[in-house]
């Protein structure tokens, strides 16, 4: 080959394969970080969480202070969302009112998740007569509306946030238990459960150490879904007078106190509280959809 000859172009080397592998939870987090649905819902949820934690420090008025002279003032520069029938600033009440609902609803959901997970593990693992008896009891309990359970509990225990948390938590626990049961029925037939039995591990160890970590995904999805329902339940009970009590600026309670004003054209006394409830529920549902999608990718 002469000096003027050029060597034939060699094929470009193939790119090195990507040997980095994410853990299953890493894959879930990566999927969530790229999910517009999840991020939008998380932004809405975090906004209201910040309002619940720090809202009382930046609202322009005391949400509990009344001023009869300024009662039923429409939205304006001085009162962005107007005032209610007692002259209280609606904007301040909406911001601070997120605190009660974002305390009661998550605690009720946590209670429901803990109780429902424990029940689901037991009936799914033991099956047989245990499954038959407990499942029938849970189905009978689920047939009773939350409002009826709340009435009975309030008569017995009195009206308080603790009562609302317990009522909603125990009402949602059977639903979570059914979801966990279905997941456990599939897991209990796998080899690792058989291996635990061959090692003579106890039932509690097998359920909570071996099986529970493998059914976390459906539990997380169900928990986020139940949180949205819990927010609605808290607002409904407050609206009906069975939940959070005055003088709290709770959204459901504020709607209950002012909804009679709508007929007189004073729409702002109810609208902004209703929009707050709707936005919070939408945010939680978007988070739930994102979590469900991440675990099913």
Give the per-residue pLDDT at 3: 47
Residue 83 sits at φ, ψ, to 5 deg, of -125, 160
Give the per-residue pLDDT at 216: 92
Comparing 142 with 54, the larger pLDDT belongs to 54
Confidence of residue 275 (pLDDT cuts 50, 70, 90): very high
For residue range 84-123, list pLDDT tens digits in order.
888 899 999 999 999 999 999 999 999 999 999 999 999 9
- Please check the confidence at residue 82 and state whether its pLDDT lies above 50: yes
Confidence of residue 194 (pLDDT cuts 50, 70, 90): confident
Confidence of residue 6 (pLDDT cuts 50, 70, 90): very low
The pTM of this model reads 0.85
Is residue 8 exposed (0-12), middle (13-18) or buried (19+ Cβ within 10 Å)? exposed
Give the integer Cα–Cα distance in Å for 168 and 183.
Answer: 23
Mean pLDDT calculated for residue range 283-290: 93
Q: Residue 78, SS3?
A: coil
Confidence of residue 180 (pLDDT cuts 50, 70, 90): very high
The beta-carbon contacts of 30-39 under 8 Å, at least 24 apart in sequence, are 31/293, 31/294, 31/297, 32/290, 32/291, 32/294, 35/290, 35/293, 35/294, 37/286, 37/289, 37/290, 37/293, 38/286, 38/287, 38/289, 38/290, 38/291, 38/293, 38/294, 39/290
Q: Which range, 3-12, 92-101, 123-132, is most confident?
A: 92-101
Token digits for 218? Answer: 């459906």
- Other CB atoms closer than 10 Å to residue 208's CB: what's the count? 15
- Angle value at C-alpha 178, between 174 and 184, nearest 5 degrees: 135
């Amino acid at each position: 080959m002469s000096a003027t000859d050029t060597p034939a172009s060699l094929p470009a080397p193939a790119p090195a394969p990507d040997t980095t592998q994410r853990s299953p939870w890493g894959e879930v987090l990566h999927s969530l970080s790229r999910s517009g649905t999840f991020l939008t819902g998380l932004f809405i949820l975090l906004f209201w969480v910040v309002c619940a934690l720090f809202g009382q420090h930046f609202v322009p008025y005391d949400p509990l202070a009344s001023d009869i002279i300024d009662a039923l003032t429409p939205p304006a520069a001085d009162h962005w969302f107007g005032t209610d029938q007692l002259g209280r600033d609606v904007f301040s009440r909406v911001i601070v009112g997120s605190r009660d609902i974002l305390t009661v609803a998550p605690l009720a959901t946590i209670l429901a998740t803990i109780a429902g997970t424990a029940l689901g593990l037991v009936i799914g693992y033991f099956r047989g007569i245990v499954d038959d008896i407990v499942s029938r009891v849970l189905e009978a309990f689920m047939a009773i509306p939350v409002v009826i359970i709340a009435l009975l509990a309030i008569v017995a225990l009195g009206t308080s946030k603790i009562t609302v948390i317990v009522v909603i938590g125990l009402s949602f626990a059977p639903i979570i238990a059914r979801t966990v049961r279905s997941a456990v029925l599939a897991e209990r037939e796998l080899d690792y459960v058989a291996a635990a039995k061959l090692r003579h591990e106890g039932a509690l160890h097998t359920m909570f150490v071996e099986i529970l970590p493998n059914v976390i995904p459906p539990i997380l999805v169900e928990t986020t879904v139940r949180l949205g329902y819990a927010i609605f339940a808290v607002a409904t009970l407050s609206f009906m007078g069975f939940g959070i009590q005055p003088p709290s600026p709770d959204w459901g309670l504020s709607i209950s106190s002012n909804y009679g004003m709508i007929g007189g054209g004073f729409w702002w006394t109810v609208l902004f509280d209703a929009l707050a409830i709707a936005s919070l529920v939408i945010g939680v549902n978007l988070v739930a959809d994102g979590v469900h999608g991440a675990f099913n990718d």
